[in-house]
């Protein structure tokens, strides 16, 4: 069978496969079970195989590449324009087959198992942090029903919870006191769990040369560095630093026509988690700005005075994204540039 390009619509148990030859003629159109998928492609000559980015896509791409095929992953939004009619598995596989053959198509870099393991740690930690926030907010709301107000902020709130629960004169009923005590104990357990994950992330950062280099950049700590290394499979997929910033959604939204350029707010496309980490890191840099005289600090002070604190934080995050790209591609650490020096 002379197959050159194949599209696979991934699923849990049943996969739709659509293949064409060098002339675009359909030569393969079938449904394959999960257990037979690799066996099916082991009997085919080396070809380009496309699939949408979804759960399991990186696993199947690695497995197909081990068989000698050129497996590629496409973002779902790039496949939609090539679907000819109604949405079903067969039409999706045909659309993927057409999209993967386009010379200007953008593909998702295939992550290694180590990168996916690192991302799993970040995802699990993020879920536990969200759960802790929900528990604190629930405790805050329930106490407010009894006229007891917790202070703002996570640290002040957790500091005052024991005092509120132990105060026998605040009018809190015994049943409510016991239930809220259970929530407080759950919050303490989540704190310990998050601390364990933070130590695991620090361990990952110590054993990753790329992460250690990124941590030399102000505003980038162990969490941000390991998340960037795990998410960016190949920094050379981006032609320059601005493309990485655009991938993270840190460039202005553009609506230009007729030779007139219109720039708006940042696009907020891409990975929200990475974008959030970069922006939170820049807030730490702004908080410690003081009277530093390096080039970036002078630029930041002028930007805060001219455009405000929040815009300056986002602008520095976009700048850091460009620097991250250069550090990963060139294998260099961050060097502070004195004021007045251009390089």
Whose structure tokens read 């068989």?
A: 67
Using one digit for the tens of pLDDT, what is the confidence trace for 20-51? 999 999 999 999 999 999 999 998 999 999 99
How high is the pLDDT of residue 343?
Answer: 53
How high is the pLDDT of residue 178?
Answer: 94
pLDDT of 341 higher than 80 = no
Whole-angstrom Cα distance, residue 99 to residue 276?
Answer: 31
How high is the pLDDT of residue 1?
Answer: 67
Q: What is the mean pLDDT of residues 135-164?
A: 92
Whole-angstrom Cα distance, residue 191 to residue 189?
Answer: 5
Local confidence band at 134 (pLDDT 50, 70, 90 cut-offs): very high
Q: What is the mean pLDDT of residues 53-77?
A: 95
How high is the pLDDT of residue 19?
Answer: 95
State the average pLDDT for the chain: 93
Local confidence band at 127 (pLDDT 50, 70, 90 cut-offs): very high
pTM attached to this predicted model: 0.88
Map residue 297 onto helix, strand or coil. helix
Local confidence band at 316 (pLDDT 50, 70, 90 cut-offs): very high
Using one digit for the tens of pLDDT, what is the confidence trace for 175-212? 999 999 999 999 999 999 999 999 999 999 999 999 99
Whole-angstrom Cα distance, residue 93 to residue 76?
Answer: 12
Local confidence band at 258 (pLDDT 50, 70, 90 cut-offs): confident
Judge whether 182 and 138 are in contact, CB under 8 Å: no
Q: What sign does the CA torsion over 157, 160, 164, 165 have?
A: positive
Neighbours of 269 (CB within 10 A): 14
CA atoms within 13 A on the CB side of 115: 15
Local confidence band at 136 (pLDDT 50, 70, 90 cut-offs): very high
How high is the pLDDT of residue 260?
Answer: 86
Q: What is the mean pLDDT of residues 228-252?
A: 92
Using one digit for the tens of pLDDT, what is the confidence trace for 280-311? 999 999 999 888 888 899 999 999 999 999 99
pLDDT of 252 higher than 80 = yes
How many helical (H) and strand (E) elements, i.e. helices and strands, does the chain have?
Answer: 13, 7
pLDDT of 339 higher than 80 = no
pLDDT of 340 higher than 80 = no
Q: What is the mean pLDDT of residues 148-175?
A: 91
Nearest to 292 by CA among 280, 304, 277: 304
Judge whether 154 and 144 are in contact, CB under 8 Å: no
């Amino acid at each position: 069978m002379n197959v050159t390009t194949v599209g696979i619509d991934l699923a849990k148990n049943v996969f739709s496969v659509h293949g064409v030859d060098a002339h675009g003629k359909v030569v393969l159109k079938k449904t394959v079970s999960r257990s037979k998928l690799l066996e099916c492609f082991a009997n085919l000559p080396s070809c380009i195989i496309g699939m949408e980015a979804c759960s399991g896509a990186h696993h199947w791409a690695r497995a197909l590449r081990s068989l000698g095929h050129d497996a590629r992953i496409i973002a779902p939004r790039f496949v939609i324009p090539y679907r000819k009619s109604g949405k079903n598995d067969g039409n999706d596989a045909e659309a993927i087959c057409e999209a993967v053959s386009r010379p200007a198509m953008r593909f998702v870099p295939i992550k290694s198992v180590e990168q996916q393991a690192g991302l799993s740690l970040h995802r699990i930690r993020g879920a536990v942090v969200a759960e802790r926030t929900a528990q604190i907010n629930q405790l805050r709301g329930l106490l407010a029903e009894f006229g007891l107000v917790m202070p703002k902020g996570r640290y002040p709130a957790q500091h005052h919870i024991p005092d509120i629960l132990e105060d026998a004169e605040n009018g809190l009923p015994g049943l409510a006191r016991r239930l809220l005590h259970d929530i407080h104990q759950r919050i303490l357990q989540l704190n310990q769990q998050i601390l364990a994950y933070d130590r695991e992330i620090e361990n990952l950062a110590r054993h990753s040369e790329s992460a250690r280099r990124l941590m030399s950049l102000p505003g980038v700590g162990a969490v941000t560095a390991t998340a960037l290394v795990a998410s960016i499979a190949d920094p050379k997929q981006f032609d320059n630093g601005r493309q990485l910033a655009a991938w993270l959604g840190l460039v202005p939204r553009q609506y230009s026509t007729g030779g007139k350029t219109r720039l708006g707010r940042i696009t907020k496309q891409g990975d929200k988690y990475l974008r959030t980490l970069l922006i939170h890191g820049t807030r730490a840099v702004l908080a410690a700005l003081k009277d530093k005289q390096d080039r970036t600090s002078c630029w930041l002070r002028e930007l805060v005075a001219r455009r405000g604190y929040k815009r300056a934080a986002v602008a520095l995050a976009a700048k850091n994204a460009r620097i991250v790209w250069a550090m990963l591609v060139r294998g260099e650490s961050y060097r502070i540039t004195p004021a007045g020096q251009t390089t």
